[in-house]
Structure 1
Amino acid sequence: MGEKIRARRKALGVNAINTAESAGISRVTLHRIEKGEASVTMGAYLNVLAALGLPLPEAEVPSAIDVEDAIPTRIKIDDYPQLRQLAWQVHGTDTLTPVEAHDIYERNWRHIDASKLEARERHLINSLQTGLGGDFPHV
């Protein structure tokens, strides 16, 4: 995408300083965008696209998502016995976000009895770790 941005800027005959000012970013940030650096914020990329009149690139969307491998958007605590034991301090809700569940598993992994993990919970843990990373083992 950085190459396309640079090519558009050059085709329009606009220098880097004017482009950066129009996008509300520094010239250095524009240079990093044109090099394709991933550490630049999405907002900076979007500002440059708008300043150069470029459309937002279309993302590739998978044609089908395997529901078995998808991480649920809300995780019902009572559906996972080991999670229920680890989340004893959670009050006022019976569901967690994937990030919350991941953090609870990771923080309290030493208290997990892996031999008591049901297949469904084992699959959830592996999916969370694959999707979000972490220091606890795949089970």
Structure 2
Amino acid sequence: MDLLEQRIALRLEALRRDRGLSLEDVAQTSGVSRATLSRIERGETSPTAGVLGKLCTAYGLTMSQLLLDVEEDAPSLIRRADAFRWHDPETGFARTSISPPQPGYQVELIWAELPAGARIEYDSPPVRGLEQHLLLLAGELKIDCAGKTYALAGQDCLRFHLTGASAFESTGTQTATYVLAIRRPA
């Protein structure tokens, strides 16, 4: 297990324990089996984007909030080399938090790369009403949200509020690379 996987495992265990929840409590709330939760917390397996999405919903956190330990004195300048990067072992999806959530700030920026043909699905938003602005930098991307399907190409931009299930699919022949701005509801 690498350092990043250890951090994720420790963060998930700390979130559960800090909230006084058992593995069974989180399993019932998230829909992720108790056995899978236990293996993730022990670092025996890496969570997929779908599993992390379910855990975000269970804890009421964005994925960035779930993955990162929020520091009180975060730097204003975040170098790309120092940004937190997470990779989904199942889909190849890579997510870099280029401007992570911090106290006093309502917006976070994510750099995302979804390999050609890959699809990630989320049963529900981590926080209902999240405002998102997605700028596609390269590739082609199909997004399902709020009962609508959007096909993005070139440097299209889509803005939406997450209120239900969503899915992101890289439909072209190259990796879909995009920047996602997320604003938590007030």
Q: Same fold (TM over 0.5)?
A: no
Task: Please classify the TM superposition score into its range, dividing by the shorter chain length.
Answer: 0.3 to 0.5
Higher alpha-carbon Rg: 1
Report the TM-score when normalising by structure 2. 0.31
